[in-house]
Structure 1
Amino acid sequence: MKKFFKTTVIILLVSVIGVVGYYFYDTFREKSYDEQLSRIIHLEDKRKVTSELKRFLENPVPELRKRASLAIGRIGSPGVGRILFKMVGDSSIDVAATAAFAIGLTNEKEYASKLINIAFDLPAKVGGKAIISAGRLADSSMTDVTDQIPSYFTHPSPDVRESAIMAILYSNARNKTDELINLMKSESDAKVKTTILYVLSRMGVKNAGSIYVNYLADPEPYIRAYALRGLSKVGSNDALRYLSIALNDSDVRVVAQAIGELSCQTKGNPGELIFKRLEKEQDENLIVASFTALQKLKYSHGTDFAEAIFDRNPTENVIVASIKYLASIKKDRAVNLIDSLLLSESFYVKAACAEAYGLVNSKNVITRLATLFKAEDPFIRAAAFKQLVKLDSNNVKFYINQALNDEDYVLPVYAIEEIKNQKLRYFLPVLQTLISRGEKIDVDIRKSIVELSTAFLKEDKNDNLAHELLIAGTLDYDYIVRRDAVEAYEDIFGENKYGMLDGVMTMISESKIESSISKYKNRPYVIMTTNKGIVEFELYFDTAPLTTLNFIELVESGFYNGLTFHRVVPNFVVQGGDPHGDGWGGPGYNIRCEYSDIPYETGTIGIATSGKDTGGSQFFFTLSPQPHLNSRYTAFGQVITGMDVLLKIVRSDIIEGIVIKDGAI
């Protein structure tokens, strides 16, 4: 017995010594670059700026300091601006530039003036990022910042000048747009001039008409589209004429832009111009865009054409656009046609019928909407709910109660939004019961309850019921819900509860990240087959590793096979990856955002979100450059071939399959 005891003790001692020895060996040995990089990425995924993460800012390897700076900016914990501002003086230009960019992600507005004050003394690459961040952090009331931005219009570096121009947009410094117009006269760099055009058009500057006209014949379709956007805001007869000419453009994206801009015109007869094009249109996306524009313009002379379309076996997208147009114009005269469409097997068409009944805007359709409110598909029920609360105000409480108890999460979210909009405190005890169920209810519902409590408390800090809802949010299992509640607490009560955000569960292990760094030295290459053709693109694992790995895992599990593109906006995006099929679905979890300075060009791939760190499986392709999306959505890839295929995609087209290659081809 004694011998057995001694043997056991010896084995235990040897084991302990071995474990302790390995701990000290692993702690103090020199880690490889891949190990250190994977550690930074893992710490970023934990969403807390720890002392360990900050130590990487002192690492002798510039690339690791750069990656740590970006991670800290992405996390954006209160007070990190001070840490990053110090890194703007790093000996490595790349590190300094990344730190300057990362400050713009922190929402610490006091650093806007600090960055704009030092930008001229920084290397051009760093100064440009500093100016962009200053613009992002500032607003039009911060004149100490916005007054200095134009001083960079004469900087010797075109990149810095371009950054200053974008900073005008980000800070909404409308009183500086005349200086942009003057800059256009002296600027020689073509890319900078395009940026001026974009900012002027995006801000709707009316006195830049001659600039817009000068770019109408540009060889690049997206530049012609920028010019049309600007002309639309001018609102003159000449502007209307140029928009009508653009309806004959050779590029469908420019035509789509022209249709959209004509729908905003109040002079002349823009509806007639759109309708003449519609009569001979073959492109499905442009047909849909045209009916949407005619509905907005309340153009009444296209109803016979719209009704005749139903005799031509139209697609469901055309059916939806035309029935909503007809309902908006013909009102109750369209009811019979709407009724006939209820026989459709498409949830999308039936949901459109609910919206069409709402456009009829008569209490006579309430019983029809009530029937749709009981439909099997939640998308149809949700569409009916939105119309019922508008048309049947006497029974709003009944509809909200029904929606709150719906088995799908979409209806409760809509109900909570209605409670918030109408300030119906009557339902706050019901919401307390709902949020107390924790993980048994969908995270989107809990998130919506926190948003509602925030709105109520901003009106009355002493609202105890709303306060209890917010407290429940700070205790929620999900990081996103807790974060929203904690930020609301600080905003409303000035209380720092950021300690509640500790203990975030990470989705991908550190070892998986490390092995992937080794595997994807070359960017992963993707071949996506759709019913319209093949699209090939590369993934930015180096910039958005967590997003890329999540996408790859979903692909390899077959998640995307058979899903549709549920959202198509001509000259903007094609979006897919939703198993729900209506824009509400995802994989059942959220991934964190990985913002970067990668611009959204034609064919850039981004993650769709409803706020920071709320992405999952939905992704989108940009059909043209979209600078306003920069650093607001995770950019994680770029189309290599297949833009012609993407331009043919319509809503409900199918992702037939996706294959991942380990490296670029």
Structure 2
Amino acid sequence: MTYSVSLRAFLALSCAATLLAACAPAIPKTSAATAVPPLNQFADATLRLIGTAQDERNTTALLPYLAHPESRYRQAAALALASVQDKAATAALLPLLGQEQKDAVRRAAAYALGQTGDSTAAETLAGHIMTATTPQLRRYLSEALGRCVTQKSLRLLAQGTFSRTDTVFSTGQAWGLFRAGSRGITSEAAVARAVALLATRQPVAARQGAAFTLARTPRLDLTAYQAALVAATSDADPTVRAMSASALGKVKTPSVAPVLASLARRDADHRVRVSALRAMNAGMYAPVKETAWQALTDPSSQVAVTAAEFFLTHAAGEPGILFLEKANRINSWRVRSTLLAAALKLAGPERNAIRTAVQQRYSAATDPYEKGYLLKALGEDPAAYEFVEQATFASGQPLVVGSYGMEALVAMRRRPGFPEAQQAAFALTLRRAIAGGDVTVMGTAAEALRDPQLNMRRLLPNPDFLVAARDKLVLPRDLEAWQSLQQTIDYMQQKPAAPVPVAKAASHPINWELVQTIPDRQRVLVRTTQGDVTMVLLVNDAPGSVASFVELVRQGFYDGRFFHRVVPNFVAQGGCPRGDGSGSTDYNLRSEFSDLRYGEGAVGLASSGKDTESCQWFITHAPTPHLDGRYTIFAQVVQGMDVVQRLDIGDKIMRVELVR
């Protein structure tokens, strides 16, 4: 069929088309060259659905995604189940280890199985280790096995067919042994294998895993392996040296003392020096005390604090006045206060003079954390009870002072020399603390009430005052205090422990609209009194946690907060609105256990149990793998780790900013 038109008709049609084109809205070009890429993976609606099901702990909704045609959804579903930790998913995850073609999905399935800790998965996990297609997958399978083995099935990890000298297998086995050992599951064969994996010919990751295994597995006697551990303290990797030094604390021979003293004096990495000091014990006191004296003025505050804690814990046969004199020459208030505690603990005939000196320092101090530490020092002396009680309940003081004061009062009551005639007065102090309404003071008092060694039930048999105090708390904001009070009520009434009322996702769902506006690896500048720290937010791994953090940053929530907890060679923690670690927002978040590891500078959310995260966060000083899969990682420090290493209790977060 053919068409013909006149010239006039053609011109008329052309003019009409031109007018319509002029009036029609412009259609933007969407070529690859001009398209704007999504800021993060959650522009994908399916990934948002998977993220919501994870947040809601909805195993039933997640399981079908394990069979989705697209591998990224299978992987996302498996990782979501790692946070849910529901053993009902084991049967659906296990086939992925053998049938799945994508290594990333198999790794995610292995990680999720490890997170469930289902012992029925152990045989299958072990069976796939030998056929793993990559060393990385082998490590995932081995770590998952370590999280699932029982004492009986430990042989699959420690003595299985993959226990060979081939270093391809070494890293996975070392970390699998660590995961098992962290749960208290070990054997002579497992320990011997971990020691063998410390050998310098092994990859550094294997040596690290082996060193952590030996350092963190409880109740080991490593005397037979002293030579191998001493050799490992010369390793080129500081993490291996630090953990090997920790493991030397489990060697029961006098000859280990000079090795630790040498590390504490000479190692170039302050984290190794901290580990060496911590490994020293009371039996080594005489040969190492000069090293510990020197460490009190170490350039690293973490080392100096650890040295002071060594004296508080292990000093014996010394006059208390010696520590008072040492303390008076120390500039760091935290080191000085810890030495004053040692002075009061040892005391002797100068006890009254030492106590008076500490009380005078308390009255002159202006920093609330120093005042708190001085009250903590006075907790070593029951004769200071009245002074500490007055300080604890004084009106108008910073909350942190009362928190430390209540801890000191309870510590006094636990001292062998606490006067029997004063026990009734202590019971009244606990009632006063419970009735006072301060959540930290209440929680500490409630803990003392349920301590069977203190036997407070005979003096306060009626728990009605605890019930009344509990019912005034606001959940989830006051969850920690609620837990402590409820545990004490159950103890007093001799009832089974009540379940913890964890907030559901519906009370604070993930703000997906906000999540989609946050670039992956969004940079954050944390300005502190010690300097600036830059970190990147990991929105693809922890969308709910990152969205909450961004909202709080935009509100200025963190500006002016303190680092209230700093544990040498572990973490610097801040963001508490109270400043003592008991503060929270009015909502809880669900834990997001992504496939991330706590290396140096990892930023995690503090919690009092799964799905109780809120506003407090911490930065790790060093690798801390025992936190992996237990605390949400939502950011990573990329600049300013030297600042993080200098942070101490009482340092301030001046401002937190989202930056490009």
Identify the TM-score tier after normalising by the shorter chain.
0.7 to 0.9
Contact 1:237–1:267 under 8 Å retained in 2: no
Q: Distance in 1 between matches of 2:266 and 2:275?
A: 12
Residues 607-646 of structure 1: matches in 2 within 5 Å?
A: 607-646=605-644
Whether 1:173 aligns to 2:186 is yes
| Residues 1:34 and 2:44 are matched in the alignment | yes
- CA drift of 1:115 comes to 2.8
CA apart distance, 1:434: 4.0
Q: Shift of residue 157 of structure 1?
A: 4.0
CA distance in 1, matches of 2:240, 2:196: 20
Following superposition, the deviation at residue 127 of structure 1 comes to 4.3
Q: Is 2:574–2:617's contact at 8 Å kept on the other side of the alignment?
A: yes
Kindly tell me: are residues 531 and 387 of structure 1, through their superposed partners in 2, closer, same or farther at Cα, counting changes over 3 Å?
A: closer
Q: Distance in 1 between matches of 2:528 and 2:505?
A: 40
What is the identity percentage for the equivalent residue pairs of Structure 1 and Structure 2? 22
Distance 2:201 2:329 in 1: 53
**1:61, 1:506 → 2: CA distance?**
30
Contact 1:42/1:509 (8 A) holds in 2: no
What residue identity is the alignment partner of 2:495? A
Name the structure 1 match of 2:279. 261
For 1:570, which of 568, 571, 575 is the aligned residue? Answer: 568
Q: Does the 8 Å CA contact 1:544/1:635 hold for their aligned counterparts?
A: yes
CA deviation after TM superposition for structure 1 residue 443, in Å: 2.5
More relative contact order in 1 or in 2 (CA 8 Å, sep 6+)? Answer: 2
Q: Equivalent of 1:210, from 223, 227, 231?
A: 227
**1:557 to 2:555 alignment:** yes
1:81 aligns to 2:90 (yes or no): yes
Equivalent of residue 446 in structure 1, options 461, 475, 482? 482
Question: Which one of the candidate residues 222, 230, 233 is aligned to 2:250?
Answer: 233
- Aligned partner of residue 94 in structure 2, secondary structure: helix
Q: Which moved more, 1:176-185 or 1:604-613?
A: 176-185
Tell me the SS of whatever aligns to 1:200: helix
> 2:230·2:244 contact (CA, 8 Å) conserved in 1?
yes
CA distance in 2, matches of 1:133, 1:264: 37
Distance of 1:57 and 1:42 partners within structure 2: 16
Letter in 2 for 1:430: F
Partner in structure 1 of residue 377 of structure 2: 356
Q: Are 2:113 and 1:103 equivalent residues in the alignment?
A: yes
Aligned partner letter, 2:73 = L
Q: CA–CA distance in 2 between the matches of 1:593 and 1:617?
A: 13
Residue by residue over 1:390-428, the C-alpha shift from the partner in whole angstroms, topping out at 9 and shown as x without a partner, is 144233432222121112111221222223223738243
1:245 aligns with 2:251: no
Q: CA deviation at 1:37?
A: 0.9
Contact 2:537/2:635 (<8 A) preserved: yes
| Contact 2:174–2:213 (8 Å) recurs in 1 | no
Which of 393, 411, 435 aligns to 1:374? It is: 393
* Structure 1: segments with no counterpart, 5+ residues: 1-30, 457-462, 474-480, 484-500
Change (3 A) 1:197 1:443: closer
Matched with 1:414 is 444
Q: CA separation in 2, counterparts of 1:601 and 1:399? A: 43
Q: CA deviation digits over 1:118-144, x for unaligned, max 9?
A: 4434444444323322322334xx313
SS of residue in 2 equivalent to 1:560: coil
Whole-angstrom distance in 1 between the partners of 2:602 and 2:122? 29
Q: C-alpha separation between the residues in 2 aligned to 1:283 and 1:503?
A: 43
Within a 5 Å distance, the mapping from 1:326-475 to structure 2 comes to: 326-330=343-347, 331-343=351-363, 344-360=365-381, 362=382, 364-376=383-395, 377=397, 378-389=399-410, 390=413, 391=418, 392-422=422-452, 424=457, 426-437=461-472, 439=474, 442-452=478-488, 466=495, 470=498
Does structure 1 residue 131 correspond to structure 2 residue 127?
no
Contact 2:229 2:248 in 1 (8 A): yes
Q: TM-score, normalised by structure 1?
A: 0.80
Q: TM-score, normalised by structure 2?
A: 0.81
Q: Quick one: structure 1 residues 634 and 66, their matched pair in 2 at CA, closer, same or farther if it must change by over 3 Å?
A: same
Change (3 A) 1:103 1:147: closer
SS for the counterpart of 1:529 is: strand
**Aligned residue for 1:22?**
none
**Deviation for aligned residue 1:355:** 2.5
- 1:181 is aligned with what amino acid? V
Read off the aligned partner of 1:416 and give its amino acid letter. Answer: A
2:590 corresponds to which residue?
A: 592
Structure 1 CA distance for aligned equivalents of residues 207 and 106 of structure 2: 27
Q: CA deviation at 1:91?
A: 3.1
1:538 corresponds in structure 2 to: 536
Contact residue 385 and residue 399 of structure 1 kept, 8 A = no
CA contact (8 A) 1:45 1:506 kept: no
Please give the alpha-carbon distance, in whole angstroms, between the structure 1 residues aligned to 2:624 and 2:56.
30
Q: Write the letter of the residue equivalent to 1:505.
A: S
Residue pair 2:601, 2:637 contacting (<8 A) in 1 also? yes
| CA distance, structure 2, for counterparts of residue 207 and residue 45 of structure 1 | 48
Q: Secondary structure at the match of 1:610?
A: coil
Structure 2 unaligned segments of length 5 or more: list them. Answer: 1-40
After TM superposition, give the deviation of residue 560 of structure 1 in Å.
1.4
Per the TM alignment, residue 98 of structure 1 is displaced from its structure 2 partner at its CA by 0.7
Residues 589 and 614 of structure 2 are in contact (CA less than 8 Å); yes or no, is this contact kept in structure 1?
yes
Partner residue, 1:492:
none
User: What residue in structure 2 maps to residue 24 of structure 1?
Assistant: none
> Once the 2 structures are TM-superposed, how far is the Cα of residue 212 of structure 1 from its aligned partner?
1.8
Q: Check conservation: 2:129, 2:141, Cα contact below 8 A.
A: yes
Cα distance in 1 for residues equivalent to 2:206 and 2:86: 34
